[in-house]
Structure 1
Amino acid sequence: MPLKEDSVGLGLRRSLMESLQAAPTGAFDFLEAAPENWIGVGGGPGDAFAVLAARQPLVCHGLSLSLGGPAELDETFLRRLREFLDAHDAAIYSEHLSACGDSLGQLYDLLPLPFTEEAVAHVAARIRCVQDVLGRRIAVENISYYAAPFQAMPEIDFVNAVLAEADCDLLLDVNNIVVNATNHGYDAGTFLRALPSSRVRYIHVAGHRDEALDLKIDTHGAAVSDPVWALLAEAYRVHGRRPTLLERDFNFPPFAELVDELDTVRRHLADAGDASRHVA
């Protein structure tokens, strides 16, 4: 099912399953799930997932493709993934612009890529291959990172080069921009405005932890901060309204508090109206 530009969503986490099932109509508009957590799952959890996925539009956010990694893409998994996306009529599939494994297996972390022309060519070719196997365009997410392995170009130039060469979409993570801008000393608004509006498929908003004035840690375990809310509002003004997901992975508050945060997203969407869009 397609998503409306003003729709708001939550992650389909097992810790939230009962609350999501009991939520009144209109509390959220879509759900996001990691396919790796649900492919092949049966029994009660599998049945509950199937009911929710049939009731609400579903987007899928991958964890394990390692788009920038050195190991061969797992085409067996990609075929299973395509079956899963098709079976649940997933509106969008996204993955991280990162590496998370090598020839020895998964590293269970999202590692930043070198910001080089060679890395652009490598990851773009792999994204194109994934899109061919899945039979759909995918979106890649700008990740948060703390150590940069090598930067021959600015992060924004790297992201934009990958989007253009791979001809894919962008999952715009607003929180990650705030985190990276703080940790690496650039202006979040300038980065946001340099992204191509035509590539922005949907948006993530989340909380982080402040370790110091110049250090933020991306946690997905806290309420959204004021700087992130401000940049989300700017994202709508610059790029237009987009479906927006509130990410929360642990340290869950009462469900009503998550719904309150979704209502804040809705207010920003409403305030944006029919904002002018930068369509580069």
Structure 2
Amino acid sequence: MPTMNESIYETHTQLFTPQFYNNIKTLTEVRKMQKYGGHSRLTKSEFDKYLMILFTMMISGKERGSVQDNWSELVKDVNVLQWQCKKQKTLTMIYTKSKFVKQPCQMQEFVSSRGIPREQPEIVRYYNNNYKGVDYVDQLTKYIKFPGRCTRWTTRMFIYFMQVILVNGFSLMKLLHPEYKEIKITDYVESIIDQMKINLTKYEIKATPRKIEGCNQPVVSPIKGPVIEAYKHYHVYTKVSAQCVGCKQCNSRYVCSCKGYHLCPECYKTHISEQNDLRGYTHIYKK
């Protein structure tokens, strides 16, 4: 069975290029089996780039607030085709509005059940000879837009891309590989999911419990309390003297700039050394 990369490549080369619309045989077979057609404004490199951007945005959890500026411009050029209803409809000629012709339901135009070609009106013959290709397919399809940009629009667009790829790839696999004609689309999707699981790389995440025997968190001295990163500790002179929190023997007019504790110079030096040993922060001592 074709791999995921082969399915994407075949889907793009057959359905996402203008050459697909000129091949009436492939267009006829695919239209019977699927719902989506494709778009002709993206190259394969651009399509792969958009798919990777959506995938990374969906994994990282980024939403519409952190999208690149050029992303909104890129999405405008993406048009997906969807087959219209297979009922009979009226075609209006471009050069005149007074003549109308009814198109039959089947793509094999004007062919009876016995294979005998039916008579074609002159206006239909003129239309088929002069307006083939993209213009002919535009009469059978309609453009649909991607889902609106809600809070989960990246996930929806990624799933929407994958849906188009899987449906188109499944129909093309039946055309290009006749040995898989009896397979169902559910089996095809399951096989691709298994291939994606094999190719995914699993990252080992080491758990860091809070309480492990022999690896407890460092104990902070009661005279300091918790230390906040990016704060610089230094002595600040005050007019009011108070008892030193460390030795509790002498009064000091110096206060810690972060904590507000009264510390004598000797106790403050021990305070700095303990913090450097336990936390690794840098402290400043000013006389």
TM-score, shorter chain, exceeding 0.5: no
Q: TM-score, normalised by structure 1?
A: 0.25
Structure (1 or 2) with the larger CA radius of gyration: 2
Q: TM-score, normalised by structure 2?
A: 0.24
